[in-house]
Chains A and B, each alone.
Chain A
Amino acid sequence: MATTGKVAGIISNLVMVKVDGPVSQNEICYIHFAGVKLMAEVIRIGALYAYLQVFESTRGLKTGTEVEFTGHLLEATLGPGILSKNFDGLQNDLNKMEGIFLRKGEYTHPLEPYKLWEFKPLAKEGDTVVAGSWLGEVTENWIPHKIMVPFILDGRYKVSKINSEGSYKIDDIIALLIDGKGDEYRVTMVQKWPIKIPIKAYREKPRPFNFMETGIRVIDCINPIVEGGTGFIPGPFGTGKTVLQHALSKQAEADMIVVAACGERANEVVELFSEFPELDDPRTGRKLMERTTIIANTSNMPVAAREASVYTAMTIAEYYRQMGLKILLLADSTSRWAQALREMSNRMEELPGPDAFPMDLPAIISNFYARAGYVRLHNEKTGSVTFIGTVSPAGGNLKEPVTEATKKAARCFYSLSQNRADSKRYPAIDAVDSYSKYLEYPEFIEFVSQTIAGNWIDQILEVKNILIRGNEAYEQINILGDDGVPIHYHEIFWKSEVIDFVILQQDAFDKIDASTPIPRQKYMMDKVLEVCNTAFTFNKFEEVNPYFKRIINVFKQMNYSEFQSEPFSNYEEELKSIINEKRKTEEQAV
């Protein structure tokens, strides 16, 4: 007999319920309200009442209303059909909902219960399997979607029957498993998993080391991220966080992208909805949407579901990781999620932590980031979830609780600078303030020196050094005046500007410049460092600025041209002749 209860109190979306039986923390329940059921989650259990956060508006709700408890936690439904879907934070398929407006209590099936999938068995009868073992596969868009032993099963099982090749619906039984005691389990193509618990059906989780190409030069060339790594992008509003996230989702080297639009602007989500089905995926030649799943809980959608949305997204990412795929999970923005926690904690009148956020906020954030990673599965295949979250620091102040907590959890830090954004130097990532801890991983250093170039890491460090020296020179020039410093200060400064304009800045809206493949990045890096390492002769400081502006202009035209095309080579020739104009001759060098 399921537990039921009656509504006893309402404060906004916090509802107190008097219950007649056992309830558990985070259990899901439904409030029967005016012919519909409102989904809610138990968030605290007191002596008198269970406290629920309702995932919908509670307008019109009255005391005495019936509540029905389900006995399970908030779960994601996992199976073929997740790709290309647009879900809300509770994994309702938004496209299946009727009408323009979201209706209270309307929940839709996340998958396609009637669709037939071509199933191909991978396991044989008699095989020993564990949770996460691959039983078979279906082709979903272009991904070989593995049908796995449910993660919830503990211990070893024997496959007693497996279906032969053929078309099945997701709820059809495709295999039977027998445990040590002889109990039989039926396996279909779908399984459920509680979203707040990490999926751990893998052998080990080693340190990540595989370079992950993003096509964004200021990331790849300066602070690279790895497959299975974590990164975060804090930035005041207007510094291009969202453009950067969109660029990452379009270009990053991943088999699947999960975007959690968490408490952000609806029009930005619409941009994903309308552009992704049109954009070509350079890696597969298909449409970008075919490898993307979007979880949209925009800022005007119910607050409680906002918190759920990041967990739903992470669970979906982990599920696909179990198939041996590389997943990139983007969450925009984790601050909104933290604010949702704050609103609830506030309504429950908990004692507040810093800035009225709940005390356990840092723990919640680091637990979440810890779910990303590179894993070796039981069958020796590897899979990964790379997680990049944005943070929207209140007042652009990086000392606020969410940014500080995230800084402790994430390994890459991409700091967006207001100054760079103001002077339209996009992407506005501050190359000097930002960091990537992976640059210190010996595994990573070895990996890139084999796959990109032996001197790649050295070049990264050199570039960073030139940028820092350029900053210093710029400060000196500002303090002492243009003619108050030696001419070579100008040269140092302008060399760092060359790196800034040619490598760091990138036009996300230009077809060619938007994404730079690694060989091209390496080529440009060599070219730029060649300029930086050339000694020039200038007679007076006024010559420095126009000269380097010419160099930058030619470089920029190169960035806008097809790699190794005729115009590209022409610009390269032009560059060579400009460099030779002022190159210090050997006599001068002596």
Chain B
Amino acid sequence: MEPIAFQKIYTHISQVTKATCSLHATGVGNEEMALVNDRLAQVVKIEGDLVTLQIFSGTEGIPTDSEVVFLGHAPQLPVSEELCGRFFNAYGHPIDGGPEVEGQLVEIGGPSVNPVRRKQPSELIATGIAGIDLNNTIVTGQKIPFFADPDQPYNQVMAMVALRAQADKIILGGMGITNDDYLFFKNVFENAGAIDRIISFVNTTEDPPVERLLVPDMALTAAEYFAVEKKQKVLVLLTDMTLYADALSIVSNRMDQIPSKDSMPGSLYSDLAKLYEKAVQFPDGGSITIIAVTTLSGGDITHAIPDNTGYITEGQLFLRKDTDIGKVIVDPFRSLSRLRQLVIGKKTREDHPQVMNTAVRLYADAANAKTKIENGFDLTDYDKRAMSFAREYSEKLLAIDINIEIDTMIDTAWKLFGKYFSYAEIGIKAELVEKYGTINQHKN
């Protein structure tokens, strides 16, 4: 980004903190971009003629006589088909050695969609993973995070979902991911031959943390271009949102703001909502679906970041290692896709909702039985059957390496019901049992 000729250059900075610097300047707009000794910065506060700039890459080595140039616009991204298959940094500059992208310049973090112009999401995205498709069906226009411990294979699952899901574009926003994970994504996408429909914005752990704040807006601005202009189905993957929120707290801390819960800024909810609410189904077919990752510390979902996220997103997915089968499963208790009601039993078979609920309830009975064993009590016949059911259910449906059609998932569940339980025990509507079930109605 070169300064334009005859632009006013300021050379006197009056105050420098770890992330910001202040100077006297006039005619400056709020949220405008600037260059401070060629480092990118953004206006965060104006008081009279004192302008405070947040310098993304940090203020180390910034002298008081730095050259400051205001660029006259908010952060921008050039959008066009040329974005496809490319890798960019947080500023939207290529990091794959290719040329700069040419296209229409769009300010990132643009306006919200008028809620009456949205369409109700109604198209399911099949992933082949029964823990998702059967129990927590994802729909276009939805936003849903994985709540995962740092040691869980969430990036692998996300990559798998990305490749299996029927989307026109996949946009990866990587915030503070390790270089290894970046290379993993790159590898997987390239090997799948899907690189042409994938765009990546990456800030790795090697880059300054405050730069991360730009990544999701960059990814979502690109997504809006394809969803609005090209009417495409766009899937946006954001990993890891916890590191994004951490960057927010760094900035608010340096700006002397009063922290609220868990030293997060008071505006955390609105800041996250502004991103997640970019997920949308447009009436003319275009859509943005967001699958994100929020890493937890010690599985604590009451921490401000997962907590606020949970209130914004339409459900959440949990991964868990099931020691009975030695595989990672999608936890049926804690995972929830709120939009599944829009498709299950409507776009899928009518018995889907009841089968799903019954299976989870029986799985819960098995969990109770396990507690009984732990407490040293005898098991009833029902408990034993529930436990055998749970094991097979976990193995044949919940494990993340499953890749089958939804109807097959439902049929599999029916088979398991019939194998272990009586009609009265499953408590499903009689007409559905007759139509789809393989259960003896008279056995009690």
Chain A residues with CB under 8 Å of chain B are 8-12, 16, 57-63, 86, 94-95, 97, 99-104, 236-238, 242, 263, 265-267, 269-271, 273-275, 296, 298-301, 303, 333, 336, 339-340, 342-343, 346, 349, 352, 355-357, 392, 394-397, 422-424, 478, 481-483, 509, 542, 545-546, 549-550, 552-553, 556-557, 560
Contact = CB atoms under 8 A, between A and B. Distances in A.
B436 interface: no
A265 B280 CA distance: 11
B116 A273 contact: yes
Contacts of B279: 267
B260 A299 contact: no
B112 interface: yes
Pick from B107, B113, B315, B378 the residue with the most CB of A within 10 Å.
B113
B114 A101 contact: yes
A549 B361 CA distance: 14
Interface string B300-329: 011110011011101110000000000000
A94 B116 contact: yes
B61 interface: no
Interface string B17-30: 00000000011111
Contact of A422 (B120, B316, B333): B333
Given A300-B277, A394-B304, A549-B424, A100 B114 contact: yes
B29 A62 contact: yes
Contacts of B116: 86, 94-95, 97, 273, 296
Contacts of A542: 380-381
Given A336-B269, A553-B427, A481 B382 contact: no
B341 interface: yes
Interface string B101-123: 00000010011111111111100
Contacts of A236: 310
25 contacts: A59-B74, A59-B107, A60-B29, A60-B31, A97-B116, A100-B282, A101-B111, A102-B114, A103-B111, A237-B307, A237-B311, A265-B312, A266-B277, A270-B118, A273-B120, A299-B274, A340-B270, A342-B260, A395-B307, A396-B307, A423-B333, A478-B375, A482-B380, A545-B380, A557-B429
B89 interface: no
Contacts of A352: 258
A483 B74 CA distance: 71
Given A63-B48, A546-B444, A553-B427, 15 more contacts: A10-B46, A11-B47, A59-B107, A95-B116, A101-B110, A266-B280, A267-B339, A273-B116, A394-B261, A422-B334, A422-B364, A478-B371, A478-B375, A482-B377, A557-B430
Contact of A346 (B74, B257, B429, B444): B257
Contacts of A274: 119-120
A360 to B, nearest CB: 16
Nearest to A356: B260
Contacts of B371: 478
B202 to A, nearest CB: 25
B45 interface: yes
Contact of A100 (B228, B259, B311): B228
Contacts of A102: 111-114
A58 B29 CA distance: 9
A483 B375 contact: no
Contacts of B314: 265, 267
A259 to B, nearest CB: 12
A63 B49 CA distance: 8
A397 B364 CA distance: 24
Nearest to B431: A560
B266 A343 contact: yes
Contact of B427 (A10, A349, A552): A552
Contact of A269 (B115, B353, B380): B115
Given A303-B270, A342-B266, A298 B277 contact: yes
A346 B267 contact: yes
Nearest to A552: B427
A63 B304 contact: no
B141 interface: yes
Pick from A61, A94, A265 the residue with the most CB of B within 10 Å.
A265
A236 B116 CA distance: 28
B65 interface: no
Contacts of B273: 263, 299-300
B430 A424 contact: no
A397 B361 contact: no
B336 interface: yes
Contact of A556 (B118, B120, B345, B427): B427
Contact of A62 (B27, B110, B259, B308): B27
A482 to B, nearest CB: 6
Contacts of B334: 422
Contact of A238 (B257, B336, B353): B336
Contacts of B360: 424
B434 to A, nearest CB: 13
Interface string B422-442: 001101011000000000000
B357 interface: yes
B401 interface: no
B115 A266 contact: yes
Pick from B29, B274, B336, B341 the residue with the most CB of A within 10 Å.
B29
Contacts of B424: 546, 549-550, 553
A355 B260 contact: yes
B31 A59 contact: yes
Contacts of A342: 260, 266
A9 B277 contact: no
Q: Which 9 residue pairs spanning A and B have beta carbons closest together?
A: A395-B302, A299-B273, A300-B277, A356-B260, A237-B310, A9-B47, A481-B377, A60-B29, A274-B120
Pick from A263, A357, A394, A478 the residue with the most CB of B within 10 Å.
A394
A301 B112 contact: yes
Pick from A102, A103, A273, A395 the residue with the most CB of B within 10 Å.
A395
A314 B266 CA distance: 26
A296 B378 CA distance: 54
